[in-house]
Each structure stands twice: as C-alpha cells, then as structure tokens.
Structure 1
C-alpha cells in the first residue's frame, strides 16, 4: 500500500477554454499541468514586458480569448507561498516585512564571554614570525649548552663565548624574516659584543657590571631598531617582552622538524654519543699517560660535578631562553616608536624666553666670579674664605654636578614648550638654549677642575673617578645638544645612547682600579703626601702592577689581601680575566710573611688626611 493518496487524472483543457480557478486555501494542491506553454513563446494578448518573455506574468489569470497553441506545455502555476515576480515598471516589493527591517538590539551572550580588544603590544608587533630556521635552532641549542658549561664558575671570556652563538641565532632569524642589516643595527650589535670584552680584561667587578648591563641594552636596541627617545628607552629593555611568545615559537619549530625526520635525528644522536664516548675514553688514557697533557686537558675542559648540576641546568635554560627570545625579537621586533609622546603646548616668546634669559644671566655672573678666581689665584680666595683649597674644591663639586643635571632637565622642558611659530621662533630657541648649553659647559669644566684639586689633596678613589666620569659624559651630552640645534635633532637620541655606551667601554678599558692605584702611588712618590694602604689593599687584581712598585713594607701590606684572594681562587681559563692572569704572573708564589704584621695605620699620615692639614681630620666626601 502506498503512503500517498491516489489522484484521478486531470481532464485536458480545450484550446481557448478559460483556466480553472485556484483551489481554496487549505485544500490539497492539484498536480502541475503538463501542457503549459514554454516560457520563451509569445502570448496572444497582454502588455509586452521589457527584457523578459512576451507572455503574461506567471500566476496572473489570462483573459478569455487568449489563444494557446495546442500541444505546448502549460506555464506552471506558483504555489500559495511563492511571490509573483513584479511586472515591467512596477517596484519590487520588499522581501522582508517592515518590522523585520528595524535594527535589533544586541542579544546578550548567555555564556558571559566578551571579545577582548587587541593588546597594545600586539599592535606594536604587527607581524608574527614564520617558521623558525634550522640554523637558529642550532645556534640557540649551542647557546644553552655553553651557558650550562661555562657560566657556573665566574665571569670572564665566557660571557663573550656565550653571546656569539646567541647573536648568530638572532642574525639567522632576521635573515629568515627578510630583515635587512641597517647601519645603526650593526653599531648596536658590534658595540654590545665589544662591551663584553671588559669582563675578559678587567678583574674589578663594578666596571664589569656596567659593561654587562650596557651590552644587554645595546643588544636589545640592535633587535628593535628604535630611534625616538621613548623608543630608545623601552627598546633597551624590550627583549623581556618576547620571552613568553618565543617559547611557543621554538616548540613549534622543533615539533615540525621532528615530524617525518626521526631517522635522521636518530643518526645524529647516535653519532654524537659515539663521539663523546671516544673522547672520554681516549682522553682519559692520554691524560693518565702524560701529566702535561692532563694539565692542559683539565684547564680546557669545564669542571662539571654532580653537586652543581641544578645550578648549571638553570644557567643552561636561562641561556637557551635568552637566545630564543633574541631570535624571536629579531624576526618580529616590537616597534616601540609607535608609542609617541604628545608635544607640549607652545608658549609665547616672552613667556618662554624670560625665565631662560634670567637663568643665563645667573650662569654668566657665577662664571665671571670663577674667572676672577682663576686670574687672581686660589691663595686670595683661601685667605678671604679661610678654607684650604681641598675644602674649597670639595664643597663646590657636588653643587656643580647637580647644577649640570638640573640644566639638562630645564633644556628638555624648554624644548617641549618652546614656541613653534616660524623661523623667528626657531632662531630664538637656538640662541637662548645654545647660550645656556655653552655656559653649562663652562660649569662642567669648573667642576672637573675642582675635582682635580680634590684628588691632588686626598688621592683618587672609586667614587671620585666615577662622578668625574659622569660629569664628563654630561659635558658630551651638552655638546651633542648644541650640534643638534645646528644640524637637526633626528639622530640625537641614538647619539646620546651611543655616547653612553662608548663611555662605559672606555671606562672599563682604562682599568679604573689600576688607574686609582697608579695615581696614589705616583702621588706618594713625587711628594710628601701620605698613602692609604688599607684602602688600596681592597682593590682588585687590576691594581697589582702599580702596587708592586711600592717600597717594603708598604708593598706587602697592600698586596697581602689580593695575593690571598688569588690563592683561594681556582677559576678556569674562561672565567679568568686578563688582569687576574697578569697579577698571578707578577706575584707568583710570593708570600708576604712577617712583613704584614704592622700594617695597621702604616703610611696614613695624620688620620689619612694631607700632611700638615690637621684641621681636616677625615674626608666625608668619600664613603669608601
């Protein structure tokens, strides 16, 4: 039995007979007639339609008398739910009701989840790096391995050995991302590697720390390529923003290369294991056969023990993650220059220039008095102020240093609010600020002269040489600002950063501890000044060549502490600086012995001050 009801055949309509009426709503629709006319044939009556068939519209009843050729199929009638097409010239009715065309209010999310806006970091890093190159993976792996083997026993040449494969990883990643090597990028990269030479040359810890921090900042700048003031500051620290994303990038790269190449990796692993086994076995045999070869092998190979394995594992992970973050940043750097600082509101000429002109007059009056002192001599000033020239120098240096720093702050704020109306405003700004910079340079020279007088009276120390170097660098910044006023300030941020890096490099290469010892020893030999042996004995091994020229028992008292530290140290070659190695060659197996029994207060003069100057029993200027 069929599921559908049977229908009686529909009688054929005679030609010229009217069409049957539509069935009422709700009734069963009849079968479509098979003799409807073709859509391409013209009808006998009805208005012609443009761009369509000549017959009447589908679904419109034909009038009586409309002829239809016998034997042609009838036009199918639309069902109740269909809408007839519009006739020629009539507007097409809307396909949706009017109430449905109204704007619907947003429906609340039943799950309570909202789409988050893209972060500021994703806007500043517009592209994502592609697949990690194989050369980058190998360089990152080499960095992690060298970090685990070489960084556990001190700082020296090992930092440079670890930094080289990390720099290669960044270079391969940048080349894979089609980044070009620009001149400033090369300057930052070469400067960062040059700063890591300082730990390999100097034993003193404080210039080494400055060099390592500066090398990290320059390496980050080489990866980002910033040029604005804010971009230079954030770009020097921006390597830390790539650590999290670089981990996933590296894991995906390793997984993609492991897929389908397990056989090749198995060959590499087996070959490496066999090579290591052969080196260990035959190296142990040769070392036991020859003592000289054993000494060379023990000095070259890292001393790896089970006890420091967690520490070495941490250093290896740190080096691997750092190299991976550097490579990721090189492939997709953060454009920190996209963060802009809104310029300050331009001031009127009188409102802006009047305070600066008054400041210039104050600087000029101060420098006129300084010129009088230089021409009249310090003796006249000392007689009027009842101060020694060492006291006069000590009381003025710090004030002049702060005056220089505050002047740089005033210049920065003045440039932010400077008038920007036209050529006259630019001339006014350059004249006023150029005069202020020139007068401040004279203040810097006066401060350095005061420091020279103070060092001549009390000797050179770490604090004194540090602040003098900072004052000299501030003078370099003033010169760069004056040059920017003439040639343009486009490269001023990068020039200031480069001057700081050069200053740190020069400060480390001149060996501050060696310079301190040399100045104090020379001062002791050429005059009747005392020498502070207790202070000099606390210097690093860089001071040994100068202290070795002192007469006994001053020499033994100055070198006893340094010699004891060298004897207790068993650092390998890659963690030993050139200064420490030179001190070992000078001292050898020397033992000060009984000569160090009476070292307390030896050569200190009147409480450590200048001989004959009992009114100044101590030096509060230097806490060291």
Structure 2
C-alpha cells in the first residue's frame, strides 16, 4: 500500500479524456485478478476512501503495436455530419408518397410492344387521323397489360370499363371527318386510358387520374432506358441474331415484293395502298413521331406497373353547419326555382303563344333571351350543391333526411330548368337553323341534366360510385356525339329548313366537313353544286392513305365521283348568308345572328 501510495503521489494528476467512463465504487471490493480490463482508454476508477486515479488499460495479448486512436470528440463529428445531412434532405414529393416502390425491370414483351408503338407512330401518323389511332393504341395497350402483369397487378372490372371505353372512343376518327368531335374523342380516350392505368375512384382521384399519365413520362423513359441497358449487357449475341434475322426478312420482302409488283398491276396497287408513304424529306417529322410514340408507350407501361394512387390525396370536409343556418338559404332558393318552374310548365304545356303575346317578343328573340341564362343557372346549381354538401350538417339520421330533401328538391327543379333551356334552343334552331355552337351547347345542357339525375340516384343509393358514374356519362356523351355525326346533322337540318321555307345559308354549310356531303347532295341544282364545289376541290387535292382516311371522307369521295359538282361561278353568289336572312326571325335589317 505504501509503494502504491507513493507511486500515485509521484504521478501527475491526469483528468479523464472526453467520453471516459467513470465508475463510482464507494466501499467496493478490490477487483479480481482475472477480470477483464475496462474498455477504452482513460478509464477512471474511484477506490473507497481515496481519490480517483487513472488505470492503464491492458491491451489484448494478440494486439500489435499501439495504434493511435481518434479522440472521442473527433469520432462523434462524422456522425453529427451524417445526421445533419439527413436532416437537410428534402421531404419526399407528392408523387413519391403516392406511387409504390420501383416496378420490376421492363420485360421483353413490354419492350417489343413499346417499340411497335413507336414504329407505327412514325409510319402511320403524319397524313391525317383515322384508323391509325386505333392501330397504334393496340400495341400500347398490350405493353401496359404486360407491364401490369409483371408487377403483379390484375385487371379489375372498372379497369375493363375504362379500357374498352377508351378504345371505343378511338373509333370516332375512323368514322367521322369533322375535326371537333374527333378532338373530343381523342382527349376523352386519353383520359379513360389514364384512369384504366391508375384505377381512381374518389372525386379528386378521378380528376387527377384522368391526367395522371403525364406524370409518368420522365420516370417511364428512365425505366425503359435502364431495362434496355441491362438487357443489352447480358444478351449482346441475341441482339445481333435478331438484327440479322430482321435484315434478311426485309431484304426478301423488298426483292420479291418489287418483282410481284412489276408482274401484276393490281398487286402493285394493293401493295402501294398498304405500304406507308415514307420519304426522306419528312425524316425529322418521322423521328419526332417515333419519339412521341416511344415516350407515350413507356409512360403507359410504367403507370400500369407502378400507378400513382391519386385517391391518397384527400380533402377534409368542411365544418358542418347547424340546420337552420344551412337549410334556410337553400329553401329560399328552392322557392325561387319553384316559382320559375311553374311559369315554365305553363309555357311547355301550351301557354307559349300567350307568353309571346304578352311579352311582344318573336319566338327567336324569346329563345335567345333565356337559353344562356338557363345554362349558367344549371352550372351554378351544381356548384351550389357541391358547396352545400361540403358544409352540410352531419349529426345523425335527421340531418341526412334534411340534406336529401332540400338538395333533392333543388335537383328536381333544376331538371325542369334544363328542359326549358332545351326547349328554347329548339325554338332558336327552328328560327335560325342548326350550327356547331348551337348543337354543342345543347349537348352540354343535356349532359348536365344527366349529371343531375345521377346526383338524385346517389342520394337514394349512395354516392360511392358517383365520381366514376359522372366520368362514364361524360365519355358516353362524347361517344354518342361523335357517332351521331354533328356536321351531318347540321347539314340535314338546314336542308330540311330549305325545303320548308326556301332559305338556306350555303356560305356556312360550305365550311363543314366531308361528313355533311351526303345531306348536301340532296339539294337541287344549282344549290347542290354550289354547296359541294369546295368539298370536291379539297378531296381532289388530298390523297390520303387508307389508315388516315375516315369513313365520312371515303363516302364523300364516292358520292362526288358518281355525281360530280359543276362549277357555277357567279351563280352561287346569291345563295349565301343573305338568302338565310329572309327567314323567320330576321325581319329587321342586320338581324343575322352568327351564334
């Protein structure tokens, strides 16, 4: 003990290093000889009744020469930096939270489908729209199907509804030549295809899901590039084999196809009609179409394999109001609607002439005065219903009965407003004839009536299917609108008006599409030639292949080939807008209404 105390007194007093372990062993027994030394340098042990002293750690027997060790404060710094860097990382975006983990690598079937889509886009697009849209959509849909199956997704009934509806809408470019119903059909088909890939069901999910395909363009391109790169690294030999086989097949087709085409003129015509017309001059355009088809097909396949769950974005309902505060304004609105509807029922049931006599208005003026106001009233009513449902009382069964009664009455009264607006449009068309704008807004008003019926049904059977039902009704409306051939209906109605009151606006009818040719062909000469002269000239200048020609264009060509229009010159100048202004509702000078 004396030697140890003198040795301790002769040593300088050392304080423990940062991070050292301090053991307080007041009254503790001496350590056994075979107990392992404390871990870490600078271990400090306090003995009973004496000051703390530093004990030298015993290194392991197998250890080599002493290696300088990093102090504890320096060892803690990298950990702090890592934590700081992690804290600086931005939170994941909305798409990262809603999209599942990365899908499996792109499969060969998906790759071939994507490549076929891009190749067909480059070959078939460029001359117009027709069956080529449906042809290109088939391999793109197959690529999405293969990608979804490799990711473990299985089609559901609503997926089939969206997919079949989208393909059906692409039949409109095959049938109709008019650009505006074709554009509506293409946009609706794209929206339904996106819904088929994402499978949304809520209000916000259906709205965002119809546009969700665009969110997968960049991710799909990266996914496809990684898949091609990984497969090229491990299958270079197979790629060379496929390229050689394809090259030999192309050479054989070109050689023997040229021989057969030179041997038989009919076969040459058939081969020329089936082969896409590709020239060197439009190569940049073809490259752009190839890139667009490639990106679109990859986006569809990636969305099918890793869809964004747009239903995960929820909107919290508004704070419920008490019954009086919520119901009183709506009841007042119902009473106002009831008063207006009562007058409209009198008009619809036979008091129309009396109303015109009392107001002193012409039928066309009466119709024009109210249609647009009633259309806006219908739209605002739907907005009022949406806001009322957001802040509706939700206390119990009585509140549900109150909400259904008040809003149900408002929907029923609004349906009468829709009927009145359609009746006014009918009067307007009888006075001025049918135009594209008039038939479009009438179709929108009719669809709004369908939406009101769906809302009434949701109040009875539940609103779980209401968002998807409204989306289906919109797509069905676009499909029916295209199948009915709006340009053909416009031409037919104006021809019927000419037969009844001998007035027609040839200048307007000449601006329609080729879908109007069958109806205009029934006009007597010289009106027929004046109306069809422009169509005959335009069709002669456009030599479109079969895949970019619609049935409306083909039928117009057949009619004009059988009975060509004659050039009438100045004789057609008297059958323009001035002739149409002499009809009912145009008594005043300058009263022509282009609407």
Fold shared, TM-score > 0.5 on shorter chain:
yes
Query: 2:386 aligned with 1:412, yes or no?
Result: yes
Question: Which of 395, 408, 411 in structure 2 is aligned with 1:437?
Answer: 411
Which SS does the other structure have where 2:90 is aligned?
A: coil
Check conservation: 2:491, 2:520, Cα contact below 8 A: yes
Quote the offset at 1:378 in angstroms. Answer: 2.4
Q: State the structure with more CA Rg.
A: 1
Check conservation: 2:117, 2:139, Cα contact below 8 A: yes
- Partners of 1:177 and 1:291 in 2: CA distance: 51
Structure 2 counterparts to residues 48-59 of structure 1, below 5 A: 57-59=31-33
Check conservation: 1:606, 1:614, Cα contact below 8 A: no
Check conservation: 1:170, 1:327, Cα contact below 8 A: yes
- Partners of 2:141 and 2:36 in 1: CA distance: 79
The answer to which of 296-305 and 255-264 deviates more is 255-264
Quote the offset at 1:376 in angstroms. Answer: 5.0
- Partners of 1:427 and 1:390 in 2: CA distance: 43
Quote the offset at 1:610 in angstroms. Answer: 1.3
Which SS does the other structure have where 1:218 is aligned?
A: helix
2:119 alignment partner in structure 1: 145
Quote the offset at 1:108 in angstroms. Answer: 6.7
C-alpha spacing 1:211/1:110, structure 2 compared with 1 (3 Å): closer
Number of aligned residue pairs: 552
Structure 2 counterparts to residues 22-61 of structure 1, below 5 A: 24=7, 57-59=31-33
1:559 alignment partner in structure 2: 532
Question: Which of 272, 282, 294 in structure 1 is aligned with 2:246?
Answer: 272
1:299 alignment partner in structure 2: 273
- Partners of 2:367 and 2:197 in 1: CA distance: 45
Check conservation: 1:232, 1:493, Cα contact below 8 A: yes
- Partners of 2:244 and 2:47 in 1: CA distance: 80
Quote the offset at 1:372 in angstroms. Answer: 2.6
Quote the offset at 1:604 in angstroms. Answer: 5.2
The answer to which of 110-119 and 215-224 deviates more is 110-119
- Partners of 2:541 and 2:36 in 1: CA distance: 108
Question: Which of 122, 128, 145 in structure 2 is aligned with 1:171?
Answer: 145
Check conservation: 2:364, 2:585, Cα contact below 8 A: no
Query: 2:569 aligned with 1:586, yes or no?
Result: no
Which SS does the other structure have where 1:437 is aligned?
A: helix
Structure 2 counterparts to residues 199-348 of structure 1, below 5 A: 199-348=173-322
1:40 alignment partner in structure 2: none
Check conservation: 2:365, 2:585, Cα contact below 8 A: no
Check conservation: 1:202, 1:208, Cα contact below 8 A: yes
- Partners of 2:181 and 2:116 in 1: CA distance: 28
Quote the offset at 1:27 in angstroms. Answer: 10
Query: 2:545 aligned with 1:545, yes or no?
Result: no
The answer to which of 346-355 and 278-287 deviates more is 278-287
Residues 212-241 of structure 1: per-residue CA shift (max 9 Å, x gap): 001111111111111111111111111111
2:168 alignment partner in structure 1: 194
Question: Which of 509, 512, 515 in structure 2 is aligned with 1:536?
Answer: 509
C-alpha spacing 1:413/1:76, structure 2 compared with 1 (3 Å): closer
The answer to which of 123-132 and 581-590 deviates more is 581-590
- Partners of 1:400 and 1:78 in 2: CA distance: 93
Check conservation: 2:321, 2:392, Cα contact below 8 A: yes
Which SS does the other structure have where 2:321 is aligned?
A: coil
**Whose helix fraction is larger, Structure 1's or Structure 2's?**
2
C-alpha spacing 1:483/1:621, structure 2 compared with 1 (3 Å): farther
Structure 2: unaligned runs, 5 residues or longer: 12-27, 49-56, 58-71
C-alpha spacing 1:85/1:131, structure 2 compared with 1 (3 Å): farther
Quote the offset at 1:57 in angstroms. Answer: 3.9
- Partners of 2:47 and 2:264 in 1: CA distance: 107
1:502 alignment partner in structure 2: 476
- Partners of 1:255 and 1:315 in 2: CA distance: 23
- Partners of 1:458 and 1:447 in 2: CA distance: 16
- TM-score normalised by L of structure 2: 0.87
Quote the offset at 1:613 in angstroms. Answer: 4.6
2:497 alignment partner in structure 1: 523
Check conservation: 1:605, 1:611, Cα contact below 8 A: no
- Partners of 2:213 and 2:557 in 1: CA distance: 39
- Partners of 1:424 and 1:280 in 2: CA distance: 78
C-alpha spacing 1:438/1:170, structure 2 compared with 1 (3 Å): same
Query: 2:568 aligned with 1:576, yes or no?
Result: no
- Partners of 1:76 and 1:157 in 2: CA distance: 88
- Partners of 2:148 and 2:566 in 1: CA distance: 59
Residues 273-329 of structure 1: per-residue CA shift (max 9 Å, x gap): 011111111111221222211111111100000000000100011001100011001
Quote the offset at 1:180 in angstroms. Answer: 1.4
- Partners of 1:248 and 1:342 in 2: CA distance: 35
C-alpha spacing 1:545/1:374, structure 2 compared with 1 (3 Å): same
Structure 2 counterparts to residues 82-121 of structure 1, below 5 A: 114-121=88-95
2:422 alignment partner in structure 1: 448
Check conservation: 2:505, 2:580, Cα contact below 8 A: no
Residues 216-267 of structure 1: per-residue CA shift (max 9 Å, x gap): 1111111111111111111111111111111121111112212232111111
